[in-house]
Amino acid sequence: MLALLVTTLLTAQPVATDAPDSDAYLRQYAKTRRFMAGRPTGAKATPDGKTVLFLRSGPTDAVQALYTFDVASGQTRELLTAERLLGQAKQELTPEEKAAYERMRISARGFTSFTLSEDGKKVLLPLSGKLYVVELQSGGVTQLKAGPGAFDPRFSPDGKHVAYVRDNDVWAVELASNRERRITRGGTELKTHGLAEFVAQEEMSRFSGYWWSPDSRSIAFTEADSSALETFTIADPLHPEQGAHEMKYPRPGKANATVRLAVVPASGRGEPRWVTWDAKAFPYLATVVWAKGGPLTLLVQNREQTAEQLLAADVATGRARTLLTEKDDAWINLDQAFPRWRKDGKGFYWLTERNGAPEVELRGNDGALLSTWVKTDAGFADLVGVDEASDSLYFTGGTNPTESLLWRVRAGGAPERVATPDAGSASVGASLGAEGKLLIVGTSTLTSMPRTFVLRADGTPVGQLPEVAHEPSLKVNASIQKVGAGEGYWTMLVKPEDFRPGQKLPVIVSVYGGPTSQTVRHAPVALLDQWLANQGFLVVRADNKGTGRRGRAWERAIKGDFAGPTLDGQVEALQALAQKVPEVDLTRVGIYGWSFGGYMSALAVLKRPDVFHAGVAGAPVTEWMDYDTHYTERYLGVPPAASEAYTRSSLLPLAPGLRRPLLLVHGTADDNVHFFHTLKLSDALFKAGRAHDVLPLSGFTHMVADPLTTERLWARVAGYFREHLRNTAATVGGTEPAAR
């Protein structure tokens, strides 16, 4: 493989040299973490509605500190910094933290999360494998005497203990005595207690493996046995002296981790009581909820993810009863916000798509349907929260999938829009305080960066959380429109700031295209697109079939086929947009993307060279038999029965047909889409006699957070398109250019 990599790099064509070695905007973009550094994040309101806590870094760094916002006065103060706790010591991440940050795509450092006690009087902060509790009123800080490497810490509901995972078992510290005790025993690297397994974190958005009981007397925990999984090794070729990292990875059709759930006394004394369900029929433990007002609740799925059961467990016996069953011929989407039990014990809210689009239902303790709160025509996107005092449910969404607005609905009523202080915003994210007193609302538009506001539950403005962020120096010149016949496609067009009507320009398609995703949104997603456009391009985004917010049928159109409806949609959207925008030059079209977007970019130049004339594929999945089980089997099915879908969706058989320039970019330490995906495609192209370019990013994972590498990477991408698109028109409908 090393010989192949060197040969590929040596045959790469030179990059155009008309780009500067360094670009001020790119540097600013990278150093400010996409202009998000210095903006409030992770904001939470105390239950009494008097204080909002949030994290914020400086404008050009990644180290976050903890701040408080006083609702009465509107004043903000810095409560605690990582430097204060660590002194001159360097922050070190535990292996579990590194893995979790990668799964959650967290690039910040310092404080990356915090937890409020249920009464709102204490704050729990993990840092560098240690745990700290802050008394909110006094500001006093106590370091908990937890063993090294404490991970995933949480207060008990009564606020008297903090539980966490270390050494593959669950532990707890009693706050009054600051003494540690072990809750579970026997955990190992291959059979962990209290840790979410790989696919739970990466694909289910279940990042934890233990849960406190509402009365703080018990803890439920998972046992995840990964001994039957394949072992992958990840090494940095630039540093062979460092050895290789091993990880257990589940590929389609092969073994998954075996996951069980047990309940154990929080005292650490007593044997675990194992919860039983039909794990042979429903092997995935997707969601666990143990909340006030409801029982220990499990959501389990079959391997195909076409059926799931919501179960209520009797912790005394371990037996589980079925609350409801959902089925879908294609697949069932997961949302970790559901079930959402009411504290008054009247039942739980549930999300379903059985009628063609998301609906939010209220169901009783026995699972029976009581009423539908959010109907299919509301365009539900995300649950914000429930205020039981006013019997109100808040959610984001709307009928236009490119927008995300804030709504409130009461029992038996229609959704009412909640106005936000940023009246022009079409993109809103929100959270509701624990007792429903405050809303924390983030707003943005296509051309403005996020701002965070604090509102009363009725929408009355309280104030804005302050930011110290740099604003982008480029003005985004973008528009969103729907194109094409029938259902049509939502598209975004980004023009150069000095755009001249009537001038034909080469096109770069910015693509993701994967299931449930959206790239066309009224949010500041075009910051790099504008930089590319200013170099003489039109940059286009389109959401093809399979993407989110267009209903069940639109999403499920890709079942069993990643390469057909997705790419067809991109082609149809581009050609329909060109009919409306004469400046789009269809003879010079490039395409770039990352992850699923990297797959789409490579697919486009391999399968449709008549449309796409150059491609940059970042971290592409090239062979879906090599990706993980829970994601891939959901959409393509379970091998070997679904082997045709995998063959249909693979890039490797298409390698002999490459006729266009293709640059493959990949982090060598990627533990999500492993580096060997790019090597496999490069190997197939090389053996087929097809020249191509490979850019390995040494030591990088699926995220590229380093500012210098980010700057150089995007300069390389832009240079590649300048070389292959801007100066010479590609031939369409005639003789294909010779292989490079």
Active site members? 595, 670, 702
Q: Residue 699, class by beta-carbon neighbours within 10 Å (0-12 exposed, 13-18 middle, 19+ buried)? A: middle
d(CA 348, CA 341): 4
Q: Which of 628, 614, 608 is CA-nearest to residue 702?
A: 628
Three-state DSSP state, 712: helix
Cβ neighbours of residue 294 closer than 8 Å, sequence gap 6 or more: 312, 339, 341, 342, 345, 348, 365
Contacts of 81 (CB under 8 A, 6+ apart): 65, 66, 110
Amino acid at 419: A
Cβ contacts of residue 462 below 8 Å, gap of 6+? Answer: 71, 74, 438, 453, 454, 455, 456
Q: For residues 286 and 256, is the Cβ–Cβ distance under 8 A?
A: no
Cis peptide before 339 (omega within 30 of 0): yes
Contact in structure between 622 and 679 (CB atoms under 8 Å): no
Long-range contacts of the stretch 143-146 (C-beta < 8 A, 24+): 143/85, 144/173, 144/175, 144/178, 144/180, 145/173, 145/178, 145/179, 145/180, 146/171, 146/173, 146/180
User: What six digits make up the tokens of 204?
Assistant: 């289910």
Give the separation between CA 348 and CA 297, rounded to whole angstroms: 11
Judge contact between 309 and 322, C-beta under 8 A.
yes
Q: How far apart are CA 96 and CA 150, in angstroms?
A: 9
CA angle 364, 370, 375 (to 5 degrees): 125
Nearest CA-CA partner of 486 in 553, 427, 540: 553
For 487, other C-beta atoms within 10 Å of its C-beta total: 11
Place of tokens 């789009």: 584
Is residue 495 within 8 A of residue 533, CB to CB? The reply is yes
Q: What are the C-alpha distances in Å from 704 to residues 227, 303, 618, 664?
A: 31, 32, 11, 15
Which residues, 6+ apart, have CB-to-CB distance to 98 below 8 Å? none
Residue 47 tokens read as 């239950």
- Residue 276 in tokens: 């039983």
DSSP string, 119-167: TSSEEEEEETTEEEEEETTT--EEE--PPTT-EEEEE-TTSSEEEEEET
